[in-house]
Amino acid sequence: MGQALNTGLRVSELCVLLWKDINLSSRQGTLTVRKGKGSKRRQIPLNKDVRRVLLMLGYGELAGKPTSVFLGQRGPLTPRGFQILLASYVRASNLKDVTPHSLRHSFCKNLVNAGVGLEKVAALAGHETLETTRRYCEPSLGELQQAVEMVSEEES
């Protein structure tokens, strides 16, 4: 699940990911999305958390192979299979409202909160327009509350 949160991949992109689409070295890595929305291709740099998980999943022996990274019971994991897997994980972890798409939203929002510009977030997410990216990054009511508290004259 961490790959979805730390890469911003659409569930359809995650399910067709092949080992040959991943390139890791000791300090960096990239993932190539061969057919994103609109058949667009893009590369996503991988952070150390994702690199570590990919190594645990078998990157060392599977690197460069045209086989699926994520397998279900009957072959490559499907979007529906991923949804079912995530739902069972969410139930077991007592989480709420976690979906494949919410992980993608969180990826974009986390980048914006870390100070990454919308142009970079859009490129990583494979968005054609900044308006789409902007919708993914709308502030929550809690974030708006924190913002207005910053201009309060009273000390807490």
Contacts of residue 24, Cβ cutoff 8 Å, sequence gap at least 6: 46, 51, 54, 55, 59, 63
pLDDT, one tens digit per residue, over 21-40 is 999 998 999 999 997 887 78
pLDDT for residue 5 is more than 70: no
Question: Domain spans of the chain?
Answer: 2-149
- Does the structure show a pLDDT above 60 at 156? no
Active site residues: 10, 37, 101, 104, 127, 136
Mean pLDDT, the chain, whole residue set:
87
Return the CATH architecture of domain 2-149: Orthogonal Bundle (1.10)
Q: What is the pTM of this model?
A: 0.78
